[in-house]
Structure 1
Amino acid sequence: MGRQPNLLAFPDVDTLATTLRTYILHAQTAGLHRHQVFKVAVSGGSLPKTLAKALLAKPTSPEDTIKFDKWEIYFADERAVPLDHEDSNYCLLKAELLDKIPAELGKPVVFPIDTDCLDDVQEVADRYEKLLVDKFAARDSVKLPIFDLLLLGCGPDGHTCSLFPGHELLREADAWVMPIEDSPKPPPKRITLTLPVVTHGVKIAFVATGGGKKEIMKEIFEEGNGLPCALVNEGGQERVTWFTDVSAVEGVSFPRRGSL
């Protein structure tokens, strides 16, 4: 049991957000203890809205403080569009969270993609990988970057980041960041962290809510079927925690808990 992912189910998104905050605070403390900064990768979709609910809540004690000035925020995946485009994960995170952070909490350092080369998605991926190499150590001394925390979503097809079911990118073993030009979900051109990078995170959190997720959640947890989310579960094991509401896991036969 200890090697399995943790599946948490909450009665509503408010309760989920409160527990997610506690979980992120624990990850923040561990990251700062490790290397004085907190290295986080985030995805898009509905995740930034839930993150904002969790992170912008008023602290209840000195220990309950999000130290944004110590955060480094990277993108687990991004669309090859300008940063102010509605499809941009950066734009979404900025609108939902970054622009709303109170000044007294400080500002995180955020690393968006380089938009100088959007017409060449391989170059966008290469430049983002170079950024990670610069920030996580020289490539020859580190096989993979290790994020303190990855905050991910789960698509209705079981995709996460821009890793899609059955796609050849799931087999990539060496690169840290890869381009995708044929995303089954628009926009087609994107970059994504590779599966080995995602599964090497110190902590990996999925947020999945709503009854529309229950069929795919059943497949992920009961059958796997090589779905990207299931592959993250297999690779990350007990370092993976799912934050769901009860409607997303209705009928899923997997041990679940209501708290950490």
Structure 2
Amino acid sequence: MYSTWSLDPEVRVFEDVEELSSGLAEYVHRVSEEAVSDRGSFSLVLSGGDIPHLLRKLGSLPYVRTAEWSRWHVFWAEENLVPKRHPDSFYMQAKHSFISKVPIPPAHIIPVPHGVPGDAAANAYEYSIRQLIRTRTVPASPSTDCPRFDLVILRLGPDGSISSFYFGHSVPDEDSQWVTAVSSPNTPLERVALTLPVVNAASNVVVVASGSDAARTFCEAVAGRRINEDGSHPAHLIRPIDGKLIWFADAAAAGLLSMHQHGGLSGTRA
């Protein structure tokens, strides 16, 4: 069960992180069914943080039996340039959480190269994506030349970051690049990330906020207020051109916004 708050974009609030995980798995499964029915394949783009863990229920019933796993293709909105088996690898985190528990063909897990410099890794990863557009496994956006992924899942960090978009740092929004090397202000690890035009070309984008440490940034993101004087919230940059944006939050993350609105938000149960 969740509450849908009457906001733009849509906000779904779950009682706790366990229910959020269940709701996210159900949403991913539904979008995958629609994509496979429409085009014969489904492209899922993941970010780091707790996203891999939240998707763990995809590896259990009923999804493990009902999803058309052979049609799934998995990509990364961001990836740390660490050895493939390193615990900070988002690929490895996703593999442990659910990829190893479902029969997605290994060739359909599109990796970011490891053990090479950032620019080389970004170029190689972008080349892999372009090859899948040539085979029409991933369609091109009718509005831009970017890939039109079926579903991109991002995470709101306690510091207000989304994917690899940070306050006070340049946003990877190059029109000519789909993937770029970035540096995080919170970690010395080098990273590659999809650029903003690629994220905004997706058919569906989900941003997840969980835990009380994300309450302030979630409130500021959804309420549309500026978090500081240097610029607007990174969340305000996520605006799918021809797609749908939905927030998934647990009650701990949504609590401050609920109090701020003094009951001014209407909600329906689903």
Partner of 1:189: 190
Partner of 1:96: 97
Whole-Å separation in 1 of the counterparts to 2:225 and 2:124: 33
For structure 1, the residue ranges without an aligned partner over 5 or more in a row are none
Partner of 1:59: 62
Q: Give the superposition deviation at 1:3.
A: 8.9
Which one scores higher on RCO, CA 8 angstroms, separation ≥ 6?
A: 1
Whole-Å separation in 2 of the counterparts to 1:161 and 1:93: 15
With over 3 angstroms needed to count, the CA separation of the structure-2 counterparts of 1:210 and 1:236, relative to structure 1, is farther
Whole-Å separation in 2 of the counterparts to 1:183 and 1:146: 26
Whole-Å separation in 2 of the counterparts to 1:256 and 1:57: 33
Q: Give the superposition deviation at 1:165.
A: 1.8
With over 3 angstroms needed to count, the CA separation of the structure-2 counterparts of 1:259 and 1:72, relative to structure 1, is farther
Give the secondary-structure state (helix, strand or coil) at the position aligned to 2:161. coil
Matched-pair identity in %: 27
Cα deviations across residues 25-71 of structure 1 (Å, max 9, x unaligned)? Answer: 22112211232111110011111111013x123118x9x82222211
Partner of 2:71: 70
From 37, 48, 71, give the equivalent of 2:52: 48
Q: Give the superposition deviation at 1:257.
A: 4.4
For structure 2, the residue ranges without an aligned partner over 5 or more in a row are 227-231
Bigger mean CA offset, 1-10 vs 71-80:
1-10
Whole-Å separation in 2 of the counterparts to 1:146 and 1:48: 22
Report whether the alignment pairs 1:230 with 2:236.
yes
From 137, 145, 148, give the equivalent of 1:143: 145
Question: Contact 1:7–1:255 at 8 Å: present in 2 too?
Answer: no
With over 3 angstroms needed to count, the CA separation of the structure-2 counterparts of 1:29 and 1:199, relative to structure 1, is same
The amino acid that maps onto 2:174 is E
Whole-Å separation in 2 of the counterparts to 1:200 and 1:206: 15
Question: Contact 1:87–1:187 at 8 Å: present in 2 too?
Answer: no
Report whether the alignment pairs 1:243 with 2:265.
no
Q: Give the superposition deviation at 1:169.
A: 2.6
Question: Contact 1:6–1:238 at 8 Å: present in 2 too?
Answer: no
Count of equivalent residues: 250
The amino acid that maps onto 1:136 is I
Partner of 2:156: 154
Cα deviations across residues 206-251 of structure 1 (Å, max 9, x unaligned)? Answer: 222111110011111123532222211x446971111111110113
Whole-Å separation in 2 of the counterparts to 1:149 and 1:10: 20
Whole-Å separation in 2 of the counterparts to 1:30 and 1:256: 29
Q: Give the superposition deviation at 1:171.
A: 4.1
Report whether the alignment pairs 1:131 with 2:128.
yes
Hey, which of these two has a bigger chunk of helix by percent? 1
With over 3 angstroms needed to count, the CA separation of the structure-2 counterparts of 1:219 and 1:16, relative to structure 1, is same
Whole-Å separation in 2 of the counterparts to 1:98 and 1:72: 11
Q: Structure 2 length as normaliser, TM-score?
A: 0.82
Partner of 2:229: none
The amino acid that maps onto 1:173 is D
Whole-Å separation in 1 of the counterparts to 2:173 and 2:151: 23
Give the secondary-structure state (helix, strand or coil) at the position aligned to 2:48. coil
